[in-house]
Amino acid sequence: MARSCDAIIIGAGPAGLATAAALQARGLNAAILEKADAIGAVWRRHYDRLHLHTDRARSSLPGLPMPKAYGRYPSRASVVEYLEAYAAEFALKPIFNAPVYAVRHEGREWRAEGGEDSRTAPIVVVATGWADYPHTPTWPGIDAFAGEVLHSSRYRNPAPFASQRVLVIGYGNSGAEIALDLAEAAVDVTLSVRSPVNVVPRELFGVPILFFPAAEQWLPPRVADALNAPMIQFAIGSIEKLGLKRSPKGPLQSIAEDGRVPLIDIGTLDAIRGGRIKLRDDIASFGRESVVFKQSPAERFDAIILATGFRPDLRALLPDAEGVLNATGAPLVSGRATAEPGLFFCGAIPSALGQFRQISVEAQRIADAARA
């Protein structure tokens, strides 16, 4: 049976909730379909020590500031609590255990096909996030590796790795924090870094780092990067001395041109300097108990953590939508009209503002476009 409403939102994470509240404020009634059994399902299963890297003030969703009691960088548990409070504040009632398998055209509307029933609406907002699409690269010999290999999205805490030799592959925000988590628990941890990086401090002179891209939005990213570079260099010191390569593009240019967010350092560089995290280069191949690096000798490891990011692929979810996804299934635009009337994505593309902030901006824009 197909039921109709003003809009269908797929996902009850920050993007789905913020969009639902924004639509409601404009008099539109949205059905939020969530495949999990609770709000903020992805934040419930992130690793234990996670705190927002972006500050509370710039991570709140529209209409409800995060409480001061959460501190400047709220914990994972506080984020979950906040998302619940957000839904309660706006009386949002997601339909749980409602996975959407495909969204198809139905006349001039959209039909979201789920398990037991389907819904139709003129507007559909895909707010499914990235968590379902862990990127797991492969290397020669990895299938024969005897130890555990897990993606960062399945890492919870250092306990299972006590007295093991762990290799974390990838120096993004998750890889850096997981390596630090392991090092602080005295686990023998090595970080494999393949590419040049952009590292920024969480704060500059006591001001949260996100203040700067927000204040410099009117400048071309390359110019803003040039302005910020001396302060960032002063705050984090030389990363080249540690053996890391600095990205030829600055942080803002990298986000704007390649969708690559910078690494917000919360102590990993100090742990590398102190020798508590060892650095190695790119991986050439795996042995049964070892890893061969491209520029350094093979070493033995007990476990591998792939902090290799996420690659959303929405082709199966949107089988007959045209001109909205790139060749690998990632949305071409987010938070604005797509090539398919009535179809929107929220929070689908990384932003210099921080993703929560970007979601807030996009939710309002989508609601305005839906109301028009």
Measured between alpha carbons, how far is 290 from 299 in angstroms, rounded to an integer?
Answer: 5
Our CB check for ligand FAD shows the closer of 291 and 305 to be: 305
Question: Which C-beta is closer to ligand FAD: that of 40 or that of 147?
Answer: 40
Q: Which is nearer to ligand FAD, 76 or 165 (CB)?
A: 76
Q: Find how far residue 128's CA is from the centre of its chain.
A: 11
- In the complex, the smallest distance separating the C-beta of residue 294 from ligand FAD, rounded to whole angstroms, is 27
Minimal distance, residue 102 CB to ligand FAD, in Å: 9
**Residues making contact with ligand FAD (CB under 6 A):** 10-16, 33-36, 41-43, 46, 50, 52-54, 59, 99-100, 127-129, 131-132, 174, 347, 354-356
Q: How far is the CB of 199 from ligand FAD (least distance, A)?
A: 16
Give least dist CB 309 to ligand FAD, A.
9
Beta pairing partners, 299: 291
- 285 burial via Cβ count (<10 Å: 0-12, 13-18, 19+): middle
- In the complex, what is the shortest distance from the CB of residue 128 to ligand FAD, in angstroms, rounded to a whole number? 4
- Closest separation between CB of residue 166 and ligand FAD, Å? 18
**Distance separating alpha carbons of residues 176 and 127, to the nearest angstrom:** 27
Kindly tell me which of 52 and 272 has the beta carbon lying closer to ligand FAD: 52
Question: Please, where are the H alpha helices in the chain?
Answer: 14-25, 41-44, 76-89, 173-184, 211-215, 221-236, 251-258, 268-273, 355-371
H-type alpha helices, 242-342: 251-258, 268-273
Which one, 102 or 223, has the nearer CB to ligand FAD?
102
* Distance of alpha carbon 59 from alpha carbon 323, whole angstroms: 31
Which of 148/313 has CB closer to ligand FAD? Answer: 313
Q: Considering the complex, what minimum distance in angstroms separates the CB of residue 223 from ligand FAD?
A: 24
Supply the minimum distance, in Å, between the C-beta of residue 51 and ligand FAD.
7
Q: Is beta strand 165-169 parallel, antiparallel or unpaired with respect to 303-306?
A: parallel
Cβ-based neighbours of 309, under 8 Å, separated by 6 or more: 134, 135, 170, 172, 174
Give, in order, the Cα–Cα distances in Å from 97 to each of 41, 81, 94, 110, 273.
Answer: 11, 20, 10, 20, 46
Comparing CB distances to ligand FAD, the nearer of 128 and 308 is 128
**C-alpha span between 14 and 54 (Å, rounded):** 14
Taking the least distance from each CB to ligand FAD, the nearer of 52 and 183 is 52
